[in-house]
Structure 1
Amino acid sequence: MLAVLGLLTWQALVPHGPVDRLDATLRDAVQSARDGGPGRLPGVETLAQLLSDIGDTLVSVPLLLAAAVAAAVLARRRRLRWWVPAVIAPAALVVLMGTVVPGKVLVARPGPDGERVVPGGWGWFPSGHTATASVCLGTGLLLLLPYILRPVLRRVLVGLLALVLLGVGAGLVWCNFHWVSDVVASWCLAGTVWWCAAVAQLRLLRRRPD
């Protein structure tokens, strides 16, 4: 995931590179569909906008914090280290803000609608909404998984998470808010955060409570 993220970051800095050209081709195809038959179906534009808005910090961050509180309560009931979720959730947010915002400023990639980045302004790479939704919702579910005992329910929740995150990315591309590679880069970043959070949670919960 880090290798793909590094590759996409490098390509975002190279104007008219292969990824840039692929992004432009996909953007044109999506916008053609948006202006044609599929885009005229009732509710498509509204659905895409709603999915995009899941990545807003006012939506995703409270969900992560709520999941962390619930996980802490469940951990305390099972005599596990209740403070583990209270450490992992803020750490995930710190990584999120400490990578996405600097990345947007340093890469300064123009948007798919041709809008340029003013000096010192935020670019479009990586996608902040995709990263926020992915890191917050994914980490929140990760914190709760040890306390969900039914395998079927675990699989259902993981599947629903995947569909929601795919929907967020698709909505952003459909509304022409982001390039496809912006979205993919944020998924790679989120996957790295999930892996680190999973390792930390597994090691900490295995220890005896303080």
Structure 2
Amino acid sequence: MWALALCAVLSALVTWQVVAGGPLRDADERLGRAAFGRGPTGLTEFLADLGSMAVAMPVLAVAAVYAAWRGRRARAVAVALALVAVPVLVMPLKLWIDRPGPLTAESGYYPSGHTATAMVAYCGAALLLSPRTGRGTGRPWVMPVAVVLSAATGIGLVLRGYHWPLDVLGSWLLGGMLLALLAAALRWIDNRGAAGAETGTR
């Protein structure tokens, strides 16, 4: 669980800097102002929209239905619960930290909900489309595509001026923690299923 611990430590550091207004937050705001408005508007808006529930949830839903159809209902439920955990964790942080947005007087922008949604939905779908533990490599391209989509969402949100860079980084770290826990849960489900199948053949 080293990945979970690393993400937790870095998340605490980033959150502390945002709350305390430390040097990392100052650098973040300078970087954000320099990045806003760069890139083709249509493309950056499209990338930012990848993190909306209207886009990310159907992708995960298709993967979950496929997994359930393949007899992996417990895996599908675990991934769905991970996505449900995103707003449960993000919304209290937004209310507590109350960070103003880059181009608005409104607050509640840290961490980025769209970024966390994209990361958990796309990487969760990739985990569902991957074979069970010990069953081969399956589709090696699926997770890299999910990671690219997650990264592209955060980049689009910053370039469009919807979020500061640390808002996105904080969500990547939060998403990393959720995915580490999810991966552990899926391994447990797979091992339990394999043990049950082995017992059934005796």
- Structures share fold, TM-score greater than 0.5: yes
Give deviations 1:26-80, integer Å, cap 9, x for gaps: 112213x72xxxx4xxxx1101000100100111112112211111222x2xxxx
Structure 2: which 5+ runs fail to align? 1-6
1:100 paired with 2:90, answer yes
- What is the aligned-residue RMSD (CA, Å)? 2.1
Give deviations 1:95-142, integer Å, cap 9, x for gaps: 11110111111110001125233xxxxx00000110110111111111
Provide the residue aligned with 1:56 in structure 2: 52
Q: Contact 1:65/1:89 (CA < 8 Å) preserved in 2? A: no
Aligned-pair CA distance for 1:157: 2.0
Distance 1:197 1:134 in 2: 12
Structure 1: which amino acid aligns with 2:18? A
1:5 paired with 2:11, answer yes
1:136 paired with 2:126, answer no
Distance 1:18 1:109 in 2: 16
Q: Contact 1:54/1:133 (CA < 8 Å) preserved in 2? A: yes
Distance 1:55 1:83 in 2: 25
Aligned-pair CA distance for 1:86: 3.4
From 168, 177, 186, give the equivalent of 1:201: 186
Q: Contact 1:55/1:168 (CA < 8 Å) preserved in 2? A: yes
Aligned-pair CA distance for 1:85: 2.3
Alignment coverage as a number of residue pairs: 188
* TM-score normalized with structure 1 length: 0.82
Distance 1:143 1:163 in 2: 17
Provide the residue aligned with 1:120 in structure 2: none
Distance 1:47 1:171 in 2: 8
* TM-score normalized with structure 2 length: 0.85
Q: Contact 1:133/1:165 (CA < 8 Å) preserved in 2? A: yes
Distance 2:44 2:82 in 1: 26
% identical aligned pairs: 34
1:19 paired with 2:24, answer yes
Structure 1: which 5+ runs fail to align? 77-81, 118-122
